[in-house]
Amino acid sequence: MTRADAVAAVRNPLAFIAARWTPTPRTVQRAALAALVMSVVIVVTGGAVRLTGSGLGCPTWPKCTDDSLTATSAMGVHGAIEFGNRMLTYVLCAAVGWAIIAARSEKPFRRSLTRLGWAQFWIVMSNAVLGGIVVLVGLNPYTVAAHFLLSSALIAVATVMWQRTREGDAAPRPLVGKAVQQLVWFLVAASALLIAVGTVVTGAGPHAGDSSEVERMPLDWENVTKLHAVLAWIVVTLTFALWFVLKAVDAPKGPLNRTRDLFLILLAQGVIGYVQYFTDLPEILVGLHMLGSAVTWIAVLRVMLALRERPEAELPDLPVQSYEATSASIAGPR
């Protein structure tokens, strides 16, 4: 590497990489999918921290203890679980970073993809800070709920980016009428409310995240749980109604198939929810329900994104020369 290369790499590492590497569309798709998978994994492992009572396994932040950056043997399994979840944040950052680099290096350059990647990065950073606050305030249930909701926002952005990697950049063309689109927006709003109320169920419930006395939301858990169940049935009803309407208007297979998938996921999630309710919330079922919540949210968003198509935008005839010029300008004289 020449001195000019080194200077270019330091000044703008993403542009430096983009000038020398062109990932295949499949590579970009895999990078976006990896970020999405890790956003779900971090939710599930965060739930494992709470359900094993390891929420204060590392009692401070950003260090694990006042004297140690990492968990120690004296802290036992709870310290290892909590510290392990913190380390997975770096894996998530690596996945998001890969998605950003792949999107930035794709030819032709797609600014919308890069922005979605950076949006994920900043959500991850914000949630890492919020996670530290959760520990410092002793697992306050309101901060725990906000932590989960921000993770749901991360999943939403990652899902959109994954979808966009498999589309073009032309203006979206609707595949269904406005009435169907409005029905789907009701479905998305009801699903978001369902997830939000689910965090309240958790905040008022018995799994506080630590074996010590932890503050809970001062709400009647039974009533909040019933409200959560009512919202779940509303989402199921809207999904069934959407499938029926899509069949009636002879919609394309894409929206129909994704609506069917969402309906099946909702049924499985409902079964888990009712079983855990009537069996006094066993930890394994609560963990599966959290995983189901993330998968359900992804399925809802995929239904929304299936209502339109975005073909490839028309490109200029001389893309290669422009990229060669960009590469030469970044690399500098040799």
Instruction: Kindly indicate the confidence band of residue 325, based on its pLDDT and cuts at 50, 70 and 90.
Output: very low
Q: Is 309 helix (H, G, I), strand (E, B) or coil?
A: strand
Q: If you average pLDDT over residues 271-288, what whole number do you get?
A: 92
> What pLDDT, on a 0 to 100 scale, did the predictor assign at position 313?
63
- Contacts of 14 by beta carbon, 8 Å cutoff, 6+ apart: 100, 101, 104, 105
Euclidean distance between the first and final Cα of the chain, in Å?
10
pLDDT tens-digit profile of 236-279?
999 999 999 999 999 999 999 999 999 999 999 999 999 999 99
Domain boundaries, the chain: 1-166, 173-317
Helices 253-278 and 283-305 cross at an angle (nearest 10°) of 160
Q: What is the mean pLDDT of residues 16-40?
A: 94
Could you identify the residue written with the tokens 């996921």?
265
157-175: pLDDT as tens digits: 999 999 999 998 888 999 9
- At 68-117, the pLDDT tens digits run 899 888 888 999 999 999 999 999 999 999 999 999 999 999 999 999 99
- In this structure, the chain runs to a length of 334
Distance CA 269, CA 248 (A): 27
- 260: which residues sit within 8 A by CB, 6+ positions away? 243
Q: Which residue type sits at 102?
A: A
- For the domain made up of 173-317, the CATH class stated in words is mainly alpha
Quote the Cα angle for 93-293-48, to 5°. 60
pLDDT reading at 1 higher than 80: no
- For residue 30, pLDDT over 80 is answered with yes
Give the residue among 222, 202, 226 at the shortest CA–CA distance from 214.
202
Q: Residue 314's pLDDT is what?
A: 58
- Quick one: which of 186, 129, 195 has its CA closest to 156? 195
CA angle, 70 then 72 then 74, to 5° = 155
In this predicted structure, what is the pLDDT of residue 74? Answer: 83
> What contacts 254, CB < 8 A, 6 or more positions away?
175, 306
Helix (H) or strand (E) holding 165: none
Question: What Cα–Cα distance (Å) separates residue 111 from each residue in 42, 86, 103?
Answer: 27, 31, 8
State the amino acid at position 300 in one-letter form: V
CB-count exposure of residue 74 (10 Å: 0-12, 13-18, 19+): exposed
Which pTM was predicted?
A: 0.90
